[in-house]
C-alpha cells in the first residue's frame, strides 16, 4: 500500500491502524485469511474490522470499508463513518413489528400465546449494522416487514389459522435476515394488498 504522510495522519486520527487496513485490503482482494487468524493478534485485528463495521461477519467488505479503501487510493475521497439508524427510523421499525401474535384483521380476531418484540437494544444495534452494510435502506426494511405481516394476517383470515404464530421474534428475524424474500416486493412498491398474491408465506 502506498500511503502518503497526509493520508497516514487522517487514518490515525480516525482510529485506523495500518495492520487493520492491510487485512481489510486482503479480504477485499479475495485472499483467504483463515490461516492467518490462527495467530491471536491477527484474530483480534480481524474482530476489530468487524467491530468497526468495515467487514461483515461473513467476510464481506461494507460500504464503510469500501470508502476507506477508496481513500487509500485517492486522498480526495472522504472516509464515510457508519451512522446509527436514526431513532425515528428504528422507532418506526420497532412499532411496525407485531408486539404479540394476537391480532384482529378484517373483522376476525386471532388469539396467540407469544410476545414477538424482544431485546429492543440488541435489535437496534443489529438493524444499524444491517443498514450500515449498504444493501438495504431502513425504509425498505420497514416496507418489507409491513408486507410480510399483512400477508400473514391475510392468510390467517383465508385459512382460519393464525399464521402470525409462525412469526419469529424480532431479534431472530433480524439475525436470520428473514426480511430478504420481501425486499424485492418492497422495492417494487407493490401495494400491500396485492403483494400477498403468490407470496412466500408459509
Does the pTM exceed 0.85?
no
Please tell me what DSSP assigns to residue 88. Answer: H
How many alpha carbons lie under 13 Å from residue 49 in its C-beta half-sphere?
33
Contact 178, 168 (CB under 8 A): yes
What distance in Å separates the CA atoms of residue 148 and residue 135, rounded to the nearest whole number?
19
Mind listing the pLDDT tens digit for each residue in 135-179? 888 999 999 999 999 999 999 999 999 999 999 999 999 999 999
What distance in Å separates the CA atoms of residue 46 and residue 23, rounded to the nearest whole number?
7
pLDDT band at 87; cut points 50, 70, 90: low
pLDDT the model gives residue 202: 45
Mind listing the pLDDT tens digit for each residue in 93-102? 999 999 999 9
What distance in Å separates the CA atoms of residue 64 and residue 67, rounded to the nearest whole number?
5
CB atoms within 10 A of CB 9: 10
pLDDT band at 89; cut points 50, 70, 90: confident
Q: Which three cell numbers stand for residue 124?
A: 437496534
Please tell me what DSSP assigns to residue 99. Answer: S
Amino acid at each position: 500500500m502506498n500511503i502518503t504522510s497526509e493520508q497516514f495522519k487522517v487514518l490515525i486520527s480516525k482510529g485506523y491502524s495500518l495492520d487493520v487496513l492491510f487485512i481489510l485490503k486482503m479480504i477485499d482482494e479475495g485472499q483467504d485469511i483463515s490461516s492467518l487468524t490462527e495467530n491471536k493478534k491477527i484474530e483480534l485485528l480481524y474482530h476489530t474490522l468487524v467491530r468497526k463495521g468495515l467487514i461483515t461477519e461473513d467476510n464481506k467488505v461494507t460500504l464503510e470499508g469500501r470508502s476507506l479503501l477508496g481513500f487509500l487510493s485517492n486522498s480526495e475521497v472522504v472516509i464515510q463513518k457508519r451512522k446509527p439508524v436514526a431513532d425515528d427510523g428504528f422507532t418506526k421499525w420497532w412499532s411496525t413489528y407485531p408486539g404479540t401474535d394476537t391480532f384482529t384483521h378484517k373483522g376476525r380476531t386471532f388469539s396467540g400465546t407469544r410476545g414477538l418484540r424482544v431485546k429492543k437494544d440488541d435489535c437496534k444495534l443489529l438493524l444499524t449494522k444491517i443498514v450500515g452494510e449498504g444493501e438495504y435502506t431502513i425504509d425498505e426494511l420497514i416496507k418489507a416487514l409491513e408486507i410480510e405481516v399483512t400477508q400473514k394476517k391475510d392468510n390467517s383470515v383465508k385459512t382460519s389459522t393464525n399464521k402470525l404464530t409462525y412469526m419469529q421474534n424480532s431479534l431472530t428475524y433480524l439475525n436470520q435476515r428473514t426480511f430478504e424474500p420481501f425486499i424485492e416486493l418492497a422495492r417494487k412498491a407493490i401495494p400491500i394488498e396485492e403483494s400477498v398474491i403468490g407470496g412466500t408465506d408459509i
